[in-house]
């Protein structure tokens, strides 16, 4: 695993990127709680008790992520050619 994708680094980067409430929603905050519990080796009882709710949370965050990436790609394709050389993909954004 690449060092930038180790859990400790990912957790740090997620916490730096979080800007409540401006770039969060209830689903992303819930997913963050799930991820922190699992990354910390703690159980997250709701995964067992309400798996459909947890799945809904994950799907809502994926939908928002993929829509945002699509919108960014459209904006980049409409941007002047000068700005395109700085359009890197964030770490972990393979697909």
On the question of pLDDT at 94 being above 70, the answer is: no
- pTM for this one? 0.75
- In a domain, residue 84? The reply is no
% of the chain with per-residue pLDDT over 70:
83
- For the chain, the domain total comes to 1
- In a domain, residue 78? The reply is no
Which domain, by its residues, includes 8? Answer: 3-71
Distance of alpha carbon 42 from alpha carbon 33, whole angstroms = 11
pLDDT score of 1: 74
On the question of pLDDT at 5 being above 70, the answer is: yes
pLDDT score of 66: 97
- In a domain, residue 80? The reply is no
Q: Exposed, middle or buried, 57 (CB in 10 Å: 0-12/13-18/19+)?
A: buried
CB 44 within 8 A of CB 33: yes
CB 87 within 8 A of CB 76: yes
* Model confidence pLDDT, tens digit, residues 20-57: 999 999 999 999 999 999 999 999 999 999 999 999 99
- In a domain, residue 43? The reply is yes
């Amino acid at each position: 695993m690449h060092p930038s994708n180790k859990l400790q680094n990912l957790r740090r980067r997620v916490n730096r990127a979080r800007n409540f409430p401006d770039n969060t929603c209830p689903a992303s905050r819930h997913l963050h709680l799930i991820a922190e519990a699992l990354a910390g080796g703690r159980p997250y009882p709701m995964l067992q008790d309400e798996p459909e709710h947890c799945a809904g949370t994950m799907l809502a965050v994926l939908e928002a992520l993929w829509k945002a990436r699509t919108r960014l790609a459209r904006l980049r394709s409409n941007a002047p050619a000068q700005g395109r050389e700085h359009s890197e993909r964030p770490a972990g954004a393979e697909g």
